[in-house]
């Protein structure tokens, strides 16, 4: 008995799926996972997990894992040794840089990989290759939230913790479906609502699970959130309910902002948004009556042409009502991937060094130049969206991407695939032969989180360590090791032996991580950045000052952009989002047996009214057409959606059902985040039932 027990290993890890950041112990024997056991010590989730964290790990031992480097030979890929593959990568990157200049290459980082891996990747792009053309998938999701918060309060992260959300008197959820996308966080809201009298308002096109429980479910017309939020803010100001003391002491731009609200009357808002005047007044009253308010939002807000403006309007509302800088208040953009916060924090963004210091700031750049011993490019680089366009324009000729299924998750993927085909050289590093890898010249086999060490940062800015459960499968390697091997072949002479060496370097350079170290993060310990040199962390932001030179926040006037509409022919609005059981493109969850058994496929949600009009039933097969492409998918008739609204989960590994064959290349004006949520389509019925 005891011998058997001694062969069982228990290892702490952090979930590889959503941004909630649950941690738990993996019980393993050999390469087998015996169970996933959450522990009370886990700072975010205690003893809770969701179905993905509990059952979504089979992919680690999947037969489809990449175990050897692959090199393209014509239409085929052949296995190669690491030396062959790395030599080929280094030779091509070097040659292209020499011939076309450093800015002819683009670098796409991974929000599934660790902080340390993202740090070395941006260092590789900047210091070794000489360009700021480096970005991560926050461009597809929360960049507009970051931009809206940077403008108003100075930090692009959650204002407090999940505990603060649970402690608020009123939670407002806008354009998000936490019960499926952030399940353990949603349970905290459900509990507070049910047991502690928390009030809940949900604004979403779909009647999702939280909307069903809410005190008020607002159903705005697609793309009109900015209008109702600003109208509610105006009503609060007009009634004299603004927090005047807070505005006087802590906020700039008040008069100009209040003047700019003139256009957001209740009558106009009712017209544009379809939300009744009574409901708008009820929202304002609930905010007024609540001591502490938290507003949560996600892709339903950000993936629009006006995503940054709407995010700004949310932050404005919180400022006007004094809901910042105290526990149980503030702005909470809900981060999608487990480490999308960390990937951005650690500098895989075209305009920012780690810790959100601008690449254009001479002083900051000098600090990095001294540490890295090279001169660095001053101009911000291209983001994901601009990289795709620059490939089409012939300006970018090579790309290095790791841990990102860009060929399925970017918008308008037919256009993206056409760009991939134009590349002279494309390196893809992943744990699977992804859709994107099919376009590569070299595919490098990486190791997932259970096969390496590192840290992830969750939506609360909480940095947590994960430990190695298994050795990397076959010849695969941790991403940071691969990046280092390539860097050193290009003359970098890096010498990281362990991810902690990388964290030590990053915390020595980026002031917000000053006191972050592996020692302080040992076991179940965690730190919420900013962390000062003494190791003091910051669960609640802005208690003394906002992150601007004068310490004061800024109210920023906003304008509404009507959503994109491809024309009358496309008569149905198509929304998209996540399923509880699957994650993102599904490269990991569809390889987990239990999960795929339960949900083998995504389906199209159709309202009862539309189903009746078109004579279709559950299981009908339909084709959706947009100006950009088509998908073929089966129907689920449901009352989650109303009228002419459709909903297609984004979680599909099959290109035939991938919603991004339909989405366009239009995007948020400030951040270039695609307008995934602004799509009209037409529907052909192929089989009515
Ligand atoms: Fe993982 Fe998110 Fe589920 Fe927690 S809620 S177990 S972090 S997917």
Please give the average pLDDT of every successive group of 10 residues along the chain, which has 689 residues. Answer: 72 95 96 95 94 91 96 96 98 98 98 97 98 89 88 94 97 93 94 95 94 96 96 98 98 98 97 97 98 94 88 97 98 91 95 96 98 97 95 98 90 92 98 96 98 97 97 98 98 97 98 98 97 97 96 97 85 84 75 78 90 94 91 92 89 75 82 82 91
Atom of ligand 1 lying closest to residue 45 CA: 4
For a pocket test of ligand 1, which of 24, 182, 464 has the largest count of ligand atoms closer than 8 A to its C-beta?
182
Examine residue 494 and state whether it is found in any structural domain, yes or no.
Answer: yes
Which residue(s) pair with 296 in the sheet? Answer: 173, 332
Going by C-beta distance under 8 Å and a sequence separation of 6 or more, which residues neighbour residue 99?
Answer: none
Task: Please state the ipTM of this predicted complex.
Answer: 0.99
In angstroms, the CA 314 to CA 144 distance is 12
Q: Of 304, 319, 334, which closes a domain?
A: 334
Q: What are phi and psi of 143, to 5 degrees?
A: -55, -40
Examine residue 190 and state whether it is found in any structural domain, yes or no.
Answer: yes
Examine residue 545 and state whether it is found in any structural domain, yes or no.
Answer: no
650 Cβ below 6 A of ligand 1: no
CATH number for the domain that contains residue 17: 2.20.25.90
Q: What are phi and psi of 684, to 5 degrees?
A: -105, 135
Task: Compute, in angstroms, the gap from residue 184 CA to the centroid of ligand 1.
Answer: 6
**Domains of the chain: total:** 4
252 lies in the same domain as 149: yes
Atom of ligand 1 lying closest to residue 185 CA: 5
204 lies in the same domain as 226: yes
For a pocket test of ligand 1, which of 184, 339, 583 has the largest count of ligand atoms closer than 8 A to its C-beta?
184
Q: Whose CA is nearest to atom 2 of ligand 1?
A: 18
229 lies in the same domain as 326: yes
Please list the alpha-helical segments (H only) found in 101-220: 115-123, 143-152, 162-167, 178-181, 183-195, 209-213
Range(s) of the domain holding residue 55: 2-61
Examine residue 643 and state whether it is found in any structural domain, yes or no.
Answer: yes
Examine residue 264 and state whether it is found in any structural domain, yes or no.
Answer: yes
Task: Compute, in angstroms, the gap from residue 148 CA to the centroid of ligand 1.
Answer: 26
- How distant, in Å, are the alpha carbons of 86, 154, 260, 398, 529 from that of 102? 19, 31, 44, 10, 33
Per-residue pLDDT at 583: 74
Task: Compute, in angstroms, the gap from residue 443 CA to the centroid of ligand 1.
Answer: 29
108 lies in the same domain as 154: no
Task: Compute, in angstroms, the gap from residue 337 CA to the centroid of ligand 1.
Answer: 10
Task: Compute, in angstroms, the gap from residue 174 CA to the centroid of ligand 1.
Answer: 20
231 lies in the same domain as 330: yes
170 Cβ below 6 A of ligand 1: no
CA-only gyration radius of the chain, Å: 24
Task: Compute, in angstroms, the gap from residue 14 CA to the centroid of ligand 1.
Answer: 9
155 lies in the same domain as 275: yes
356 lies in the same domain as 505: yes
Do residues 275 and 266 lie in contact, with contact meaning Cβ atoms separated by under 8 Å?
no
Cis ω on the peptide bond leading into residue 379 (within 30° of 0)?
no
Classify residue 349 by its DSSP letter. B
180 lies in the same domain as 298: yes
Examine residue 486 and state whether it is found in any structural domain, yes or no.
Answer: yes
HSE of 322, CA atoms in CB hemisphere, 13 A: 15
Going by C-beta distance under 8 Å and a sequence separation of 6 or more, which residues neighbour residue 646?
Answer: 572, 573, 574, 575, 604, 605, 606, 610, 624, 681, 683
Examine residue 523 and state whether it is found in any structural domain, yes or no.
Answer: no
In angstroms, the CA 191 to CA 210 distance is 11
Do residues 689 and 618 lie in contact, with contact meaning Cβ atoms separated by under 8 Å?
yes
Task: Compute, in angstroms, the gap from residue 182 CA to the centroid of ligand 1.
Answer: 7
Q: Whose CA is nearest to atom 3 of ligand 1?
A: 50
630 lies in the same domain as 678: yes
CATH number for the domain that contains residue 365: 3.40.50.740
49 Cβ below 6 A of ligand 1: yes
pTM score: 0.94
In angstroms, the CA 31 to CA 58 distance is 11
15 Cβ below 6 A of ligand 1: yes
Q: What are phi and psi of 2, to 5 degrees?
A: -70, -35
183 Cβ below 6 A of ligand 1: yes
Q: Whose CA is nearest to atom 4 of ligand 1?
A: 22
20 Cβ below 6 A of ligand 1: yes
Task: Compute, in angstroms, the gap from residue 185 CA to the centroid of ligand 1.
Answer: 9
> Which residue spans within 138-267 are E strands per DSSP?
170-174, 199-203, 216-218, 251-252
CATH number for the domain that contains residue 159: 3.40.228.10
Joined together, the tokens standing for residue 68 give 């050897």
Examine residue 452 and state whether it is found in any structural domain, yes or no.
Answer: no
376 lies in the same domain as 488: yes
Q: Of 311, 334, 357, which closes a domain?
A: 334
588 Cβ below 6 A of ligand 1: no
121 lies in the same domain as 84: yes
Task: Compute, in angstroms, the gap from residue 159 CA to the centroid of ligand 1.
Answer: 20
Per-residue pLDDT at 261: 98
In angstroms, the CA 497 to CA 418 distance is 39
131 lies in the same domain as 32: no
């Amino acid at each position: 008995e005891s011998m058997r027990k001694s062969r069982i290993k228990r290892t702490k890890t952090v979930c590889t799926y959503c941004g909630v950041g649950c941690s738990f112990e993996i019980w393993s024997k050999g390469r087998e996972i015996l169970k996933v056991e959450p522990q009370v010590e886990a700072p975010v989730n205690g003893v809770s997990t969701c179905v993905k964290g509990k059952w979504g790990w089979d992919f680690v031992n999947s037969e489809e894992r990449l175990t050897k480097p692959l090199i393209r030979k014509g239409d085929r890929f052949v296995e190669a040794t690491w030396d062959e593959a790395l030599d080929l990568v280094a030779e091509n990157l070097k040659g292209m840089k020499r011939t076309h200049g450093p800015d002819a290459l683009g670098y796409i980082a991974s929000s599934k990989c660790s902080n340390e891996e993202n740090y070395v990747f941006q260092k590789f792009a900047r210091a070794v290759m000489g360009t700021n053309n480096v970005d991560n998938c926050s461009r597809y999701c929360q960049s507009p939230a970051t931009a809206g918060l940077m403008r108003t309060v100075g930090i692009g992260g959650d204002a407090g913790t999940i505990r603060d959300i649970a402690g608020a008197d009123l939670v407002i959820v806008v354009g998000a479906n936490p019960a499926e996308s952030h399940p353990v966080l949603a349970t905290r809201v459900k509990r507070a609502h049910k047991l502690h009298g928390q009030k809940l308002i949900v604004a979403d096109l779909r009647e999702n699970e939280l909307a069903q429980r809410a005190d008020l479910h607002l159903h705005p017309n697609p793309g009109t959130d900015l209008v109702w939020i600003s109208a509610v803010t105006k009503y609060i100001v007009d009634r004299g309910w603004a927090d005047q003391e807070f505005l006087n002491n802590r906020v700039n731009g008040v008069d100009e902002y209040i003047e700019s609200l003139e256009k957001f009357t209740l009558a106009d808002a009712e017209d544009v948004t379809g939300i009744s005047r009574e409901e708008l007044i009820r929202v304002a009253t609930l905010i007024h009556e609540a001591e502490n308010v938290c507003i949560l939002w996600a892709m339903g807000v950000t993936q629009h042409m006006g995503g940054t403006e709407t995010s700004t309007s949310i932050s404005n509302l919180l400022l006007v009502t004094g809901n910042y800088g105290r526990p149980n208040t503030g702005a909470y953009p809900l981060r999608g991937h487990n480490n999308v916060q960390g990937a951005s924090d650690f500098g895989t963004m075209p305009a920012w060094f780690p810790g959100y210091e601008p690449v254009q700031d001479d002083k900051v750049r000098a600090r990095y130049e001294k540490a890295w011993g090279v001169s660095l490019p001053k101009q911000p680089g291209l983001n994901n969206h601009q990289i795709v366009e620059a490939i089409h324009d012939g300006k970018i000729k090579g790309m290095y991407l790791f841990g990102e299924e860009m060929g399925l998750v970017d918008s308008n993927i037919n256009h993206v695939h056409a760009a991939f085909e134009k590349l002279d050289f494309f390196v893809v590093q992943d744990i699977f032969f992804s859709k994107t890898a099919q376009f590569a010249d070299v595919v490098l086999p990486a190791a997932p989180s259970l096969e390496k060490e590192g840290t992830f940062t969750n939506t609360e800015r909480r940095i947590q360590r994960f430990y190695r459960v298994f050795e990397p499968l076959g010849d695969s390697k941790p991403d940071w090791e691969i990046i280092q091997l390539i860097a050193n072949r290009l003359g970098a002479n890096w010498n990281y032996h362990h991810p902690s060496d990388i964290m030590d370097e990053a915390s020595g350079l980026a002031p917000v991580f000053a006191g972050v170290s592996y020692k302080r993060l040992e076991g179940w310990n965690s730190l919420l950045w900013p962390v000062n040199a003494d190791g003091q962390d910051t669960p609640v932001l802005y208690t003394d000052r906002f992150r601007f030179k004068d310490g004061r926040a800024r109210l920023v006037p906003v304008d509404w952009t009507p959503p994109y509409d491809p024309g009358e022919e496309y008569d149905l609005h198509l929304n998209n989002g996540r399923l509880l059981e699957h994650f993102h493109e599904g490269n990991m969850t569809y390889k987990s047996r239990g999960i795929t058994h339960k949900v083998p496929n995504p389906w199209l949600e159709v309202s009862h009214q539309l189903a009746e009009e078109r004579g279709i039933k559950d299981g009908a097969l339909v084709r959706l057409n947009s100006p950009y492409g088509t998908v073929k998918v089966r129907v689920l008739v449901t009352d989650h959606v109303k009228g002419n609204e459709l909903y297609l989960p984004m979680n599909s590994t099959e290109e035939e059902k991938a919603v991004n064959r339909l989405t366009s290349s239009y995007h948020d004006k400030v951040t270039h985040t695609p307008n995934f949520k602004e799509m009209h389509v037409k529907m052909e019925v192929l089989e009515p039932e």
